[in-house]
C-alpha cells in the first residue's frame, strides 16, 4: 500500500490499541463483572483474561500487507479474549472455511482481511452486553456506548486509508433502533455523511455463527448467479434495510 495509506492505517491502529488499554484501566471492575456473567450462565465456565480486547492480529500488518476486505464482527467472545485476536473461535473457523471454499473471491481470510468489532468489550454472548451494562451501572453503560462510537470511528479511519475496499459488517440484528449496537449504527451514519460515495463499499450480512451467513447466502442466491454478485446484491439490500443507504 502507499506510504500515506500505511501511515494512516498505523496511526488508527495505534490509537485503537491505546484506547482498549485505557478503557480496561478505567473500568477496574469490568473483569469481575464479566466473570460473574460467565459463572451465572450455566454453560462451561472459563477464566476471563481480557475484558477489553484489541485485535492483536493488527500488530502483524506491514506496509506490504495485501488487504482486500475489512470485516466487522460484534464483540470478542471466549476464544477471542483467550487468544488476544478476533474471530478465532467457531465463527472464525466458519468464516475461514467459507473463503477457502470460494477461491474465486480471491481472499485469504487470515492474510487479506482486517477484522474489527463493534465494541472491544468481551461478553460470553453478544446479547449479554445489556446485562453487563446493567450490572456495572452508569459508568459501564457509558463506556459501552463510548466504545461503539470509537469503533465506528476506527472502522471509518481504516476504510478511508484503504478505500476503495469493501467493508463487510457481519451480524446486523442488534444494529436496529433499540438494539445493543444502536449507538454504533448512528455513529456510522454520522461519519459516512462526510463521504457519501463510500457508503456503497459497505455491505451487511448475517453472522457467521451457526452458519447463518452461508445458509442465508444459499437461500438468496439466484439461478446462475455467481457468488461475488450474490454477495454484492445481498449485502447492499441489508445495507439499505438497516442503514437506509442505497
* Model pLDDT for residues 57-72, shown as the tens digit of each residue: 999 999 999 999 999 9
Which residue, among 44, 107, 104, has the nearest Cα to 77 in the 3D structure? 44
Q: Are 158 and 116 a contacting pair, CB within 8 Å?
A: yes
Residue 50 scores a pLDDT above 90: yes
What pLDDT does residue 41 have?
Answer: 81
**Cell 464479566 identifies what position?**
34
Q: How many other C-beta atoms are found inside a 10 Å radius of the C-beta of residue 127?
A: 13
> Domain spanning 3-243 has what CATH number?
3.40.470
Q: How many other C-beta atoms are found inside a 10 Å radius of the C-beta of residue 135?
A: 16
Residue 245 CA, chain-centre distance (Å), reads 19
**Cell 445495507 identifies what position?**
239
Mean pLDDT across the stretch 33-45?
Answer: 89
Mean pLDDT across the stretch 39-68?
Answer: 93
Residues 100-115: tens digit of each pLDDT: 999 999 999 999 999 9
Beta strands (DSSP E) in 13-88 are 69-73
Q: How many CA atoms lie within 13 A of 109 on its CB side?
A: 18
Q: How many other C-beta atoms are found inside a 10 Å radius of the C-beta of residue 118?
A: 28
Residue 1 scores a pLDDT above 90: no
What pLDDT does residue 230 have?
Answer: 98
Residue 43 scores a pLDDT above 80: no
What pLDDT does residue 136 have?
Answer: 94
Torsion of CA 9, 13, 19, 24, to 10 degrees: 160
Q: What CA–CA distance (Å, rounded) separates 175 from 188?
A: 11
Beta strands (DSSP E) in the chain are 69-73, 113-117, 167-170, 202-205
Average pLDDT value over all residues in the chain: 96
DSSP state of 222: P
Q: Cell digits for 152? A: 465506528
Residue 130 CA, chain-centre distance (Å), reads 18
pTM of the complete model: 0.96
Contacts of 111 (CB under 8 A, 6+ apart): 65, 66
Using left for φ > 0, alpha for ψ between -120 and 50, and beta otherwise, residue 245 falls in: beta
Mean pLDDT across the stretch 193-217?
Answer: 96
What pLDDT does residue 112 have?
Answer: 97
Q: Are 9 and 158 a contacting pair, CB within 8 Å?
A: yes
Mean pLDDT across the stretch 36-64?
Answer: 93
**Cell 495485501 identifies what position?**
66
Mean pLDDT across the stretch 6-18?
Answer: 97
What pLDDT does residue 44 have?
Answer: 81
Amino acid at each position: 500500500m502507499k506510504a500515506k495509506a500505511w501511515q494512516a492505517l498505523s496511526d488508527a491502529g495505534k490509537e485503537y490499541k491505546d484506547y482498549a488499554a485505557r478503557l480496561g484501566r478505567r473500568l477496574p471492575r469490568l473483569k469481575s463483572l464479566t466473570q460473574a456473567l460467565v459463572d451465572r450462565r450455566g454453560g462451561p465456565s472459563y477464566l476471563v483474561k481480557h475484558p477489553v480486547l484489541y485485535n492483536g492480529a493488527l500488530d502483524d500488518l506491514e506496509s506490504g500487507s495485501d488487504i482486500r476486505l475489512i470485516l466487522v464482527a460484534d464483540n470478542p467472545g471466549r476464544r477471542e479474549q483467550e487468544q488476544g485476536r478476533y474471530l478465532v473461535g467457531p465463527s472464525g473457523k466458519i468464516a475461514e472455511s467459507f473463503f477457502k471454499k470460494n477461491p474465486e473471491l480471491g481472499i485469504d481470510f487470515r492474510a487479506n482481511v482486517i477484522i474489527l468489532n463493534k465494541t472491544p468489550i468481551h461478553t460470553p454472548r453478544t446479547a449479554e452486553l445489556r446485562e453487563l451494562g446493567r450490572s456495572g451501572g452508569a459508568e459501564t453503560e457509558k463506556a459501552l456506548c463510548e466504545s461503539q462510537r470509537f469503533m465506528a470511528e476506527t472502522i471509518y479511519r481504516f476504510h478511508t486509508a484503504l478505500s476503495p475496499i469493501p467493508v463487510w459488517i457481519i451480524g446486523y440484528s442488534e444494529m436496529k433502533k433499540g438494539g445493543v449496537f444502536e449507538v454504533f449504527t448512528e455513529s456510522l451514519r454520522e461519519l459516512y455523511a462526510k463521504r457519501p460515495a463510500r457508503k456503497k463499499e459497505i455491505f451487511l450480512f448475517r453472522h457467521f455463527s451457526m452458519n447463518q451467513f452461508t445458509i442465508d447466502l444459499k437461500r438468496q442466491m439466484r439461478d446462475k448467479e455467481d457468488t461475488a454478485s450474490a454477495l454484492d446484491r445481498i449485502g447492499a439490500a441489508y445495507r439499505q434495510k438497516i442503514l437506509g443507504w442505497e
